[in-house]
């Protein structure tokens, strides 16, 4: 804490991981101490921070902060998204980069952990302003990334439009047409199903968890927070598997539609118009919009937090339990506070943590990297099958690791241990670096 002042989300993520690794750490304490394993694990290999100047539509110069945290490359090139949101700071990106190490390890694919972004807010900006920002951001970032070095992707505030502008500038500066970013458009090296992958993967692993507890999604009422990329495609897959999503949100408020969310309308509002979730209630008679937080008071069988970190606190967890919620799976990164997670686990609510539950996005990004390297494109069916297989495998590894350490059904501990083991093995083999 003293060495990383003010980085509270980073402290929170490290504490959660180290606490849940206690059994493994205790068993190997001396060895880990001798090789400084934990000290190296919590220190990023590199943090790059830079100035991003750009000119807005009024001709005024704006300056934002840009970052790339290259956290751990033990098992592959750094891989992790870029986040553009006013709340972004070094501590948040370090928490995300740290989580990413274990998530990427869990996918079974050769990708290390990284994360980056800026405090730039794409909301309310013109396309030209977003392009000017992205070009300036990439002008600096391009010095530190590459297809075999560091491969960023999207995250909050970075979707297809931003990835396109970033890719164009990378190519212009380096002259390389290579898989340096994932989440690209289909006409320039993108993979089918990448857009859907995080949301779909979340529901695949949820389904797997439910089946292992003699439940299915059929007929279940589901609440999904957020209304961005992850939330939209989680909703789509829940609906395909027979569940009913009754609420979605954004940072202003939430909509409740007892008849079930009509996703085509949400997609039109969010993906075409870049509007607010409130507009759904203006268009759909059965829907009600409520300003502010409060989505977790909507009664449901299953809750899927898909917006941002620490959006589901202890009171929310209590409300969910009281209303009969049986399962929570995290689409976002660390959306559930530590107290809320502990409460849910202690009260018998099935809980799948983000590093396992939302790994489908980065896994499919790794599949995009493979296709780029081979200069091939797989069909949607091929990618979706692989994604399904990967999510099933993550469930199995997570569940097995929990069992091995005598905490069956605790997927928080299971995911951390399973992700940790592979990284530790690779770090040990590569010496003190």
Active-site residue set: 115
Which of 64, 73, 182, 198 is the binder for ligand NDP (CB under 6 A)?
Answer: 198
The number of helices, as runs of H, and strands, as runs of E, in the chain is 17, 12
State how far the Cα of 171 lies from the Cα of 216, in Å rounded to an integer.
46
229 is known to lie in a ligand binding site: yes
Written as six digits, the tokens of 88 are 């972004």
Which of 152, 157, 164, 414 is the binder for ligand NDP (CB under 6 A)?
Answer: 157
Neighbours of 264 (CB within 10 A): 8
410 is known to lie in a ligand binding site: no
Which of 44, 97, 331, 419 is the binder for ligand NDP (CB under 6 A)?
Answer: 331
Query: Which x/- pattern over 18-47 shows residues binding ligand NDP (rule: CB under 6 A)?
Result: ------------------------------
Which of 72, 118, 235, 358 is the binder for ligand NDP (CB under 6 A)?
Answer: 358
The side-by-side arrangement of strands in the sheet containing 150-153 is 46-55, 61-72, 112-118, 78-84, 150-153
End-to-end CA distance of the chain: 23
Q: What number of CA atoms fall less than 13 Å from residue 395's CA on the CB side?
A: 22
Q: Give the footprint of ligand NDP on residues 238-257 (CB under 6 A).
A: 250-252
365 is known to lie in a ligand binding site: yes
State how far the Cα of 427 lies from the Cα of 433, in Å rounded to an integer.
8
The residues, ordered by sequence, that sit 6+ positions from 171 with a Cβ below 8 Å of its Cβ are: 177
Closest by CA position to 166, among listed 376, 100, 156, 154:
154
308 binds ligand NDP per the rule CB under 6 A? yes
If the CB atoms of residues 76 and 331 are measured against ligand NDP, the closer one turns out to be: 331
If binding means CB under 6 A, how many residues of this protein chain bind ligand NDP? 23
If the CB atoms of residues 307 and 418 are measured against ligand NDP, the closer one turns out to be: 307
State how far the Cα of 229 lies from the Cα of 271, in Å rounded to an integer.
9
Beta carbon of residue 405, minimum distance to ligand NDP (angstroms, whole number): 26
232 phi, psi to nearest 5 deg: -65, -45
Which of 141, 156, 205, 387 is the binder for ligand NDP (CB under 6 A)?
Answer: 156
Residue whose token pair is 């507890």: 213
302 binds ligand NDP per the rule CB under 6 A? no
If the CB atoms of residues 94 and 424 are measured against ligand NDP, the closer one turns out to be: 94
Which of 112, 226, 353, 419 is the binder for ligand NDP (CB under 6 A)?
Answer: 226
If the CB atoms of residues 93 and 349 are measured against ligand NDP, the closer one turns out to be: 93
Task: Return residues touching ligand NDP (CB under 6 A).
Answer: 154-157, 198, 226-231, 250-252, 306-308, 311, 331-333, 358, 361
């Amino acid at each position: 804490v003293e060495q990383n002042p003010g980085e509270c989300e980073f402290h929170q993520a490290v504490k959660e991981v180290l606490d849940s690794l206690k059994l493994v750490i205790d068993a190997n304490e001396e060895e880990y101490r001798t090789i400084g394993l934990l000290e190296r694990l919590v220190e990023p290999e590199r943090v790059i921070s830079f100035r991003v100047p750009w000119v807005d539509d009024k001709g005024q110069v704006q300056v934002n902060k840009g970052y790339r945290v290259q956290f751990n490359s033990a098992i592959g090139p750094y891989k992790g998204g870029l986040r553009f949101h006013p709340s972004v700071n070094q501590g948040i990106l370090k928490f995300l980069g740290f989580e990413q190490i274990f998530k990427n390890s869990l996918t079974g694919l050769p990708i290390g952990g990284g994360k980056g972004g800026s405090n730039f807010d794409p909301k309310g900006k013109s396309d030209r302003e977003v392009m000017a920002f992205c070009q300036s951001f990439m002008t600096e970032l391009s010095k530190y990334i590459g297809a075999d070095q560091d491969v960023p992707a999207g995250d909050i505030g970075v979707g297809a439009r931003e990835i396109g502008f970033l890719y164009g500038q990378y190519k212009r500066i380096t002259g390389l047409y290579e898989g340096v970013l994932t989440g690209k458009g289909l006409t320039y090296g993108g993979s089918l199903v990448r857009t859907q992958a995080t949301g779909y993967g979340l529901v695949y692993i949820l389904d797997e968890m439910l089946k292992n507890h003699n439940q299915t999604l059929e007929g279940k009422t589901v609440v999904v927070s957020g209304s961005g990329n992850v939330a939209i495609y989680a909703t789509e897959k829940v609906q395909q598997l027979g569940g009913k999503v009754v609420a979605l949100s954004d940072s202003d408020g939430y909509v409740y539609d007892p008849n079930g969310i009509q996703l085509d309308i949400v997609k039109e509002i969010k993906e075409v118009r870049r509007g607010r979730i409130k507009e759904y209630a203006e268009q759909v008679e059965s829907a009600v919009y409520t300003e502010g937080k409060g989505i977790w008071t909507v009664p449901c069988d299953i809750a899927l937090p898909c917006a941002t970190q620490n959006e589901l606190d202890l009171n929310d967890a209590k409300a969910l339990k009281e209303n009969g919620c049986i399962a929570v799976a995290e689409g976002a990164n660390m959306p559930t506070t530590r107290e809320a997670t502990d409460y849910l686990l202690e009260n018998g609510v099935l809980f799948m943590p983000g590093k396992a539950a939302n790994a489908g996005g980065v896994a499919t990004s790794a599949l995009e990297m493979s296709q780029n390297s081979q200069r091939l494109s797989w069909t949607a069916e091929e990618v979706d099958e692989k994604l399904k297989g990967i999510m099933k495998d993550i469930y199995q590894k997570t569940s097995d690791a929990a069992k091995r350490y005598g905490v069956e059904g605790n997927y928080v501990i299971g995911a951390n241990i399973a992700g940790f083991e592979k990284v530790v093995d690779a770090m040990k083999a590569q010496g003190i670096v």
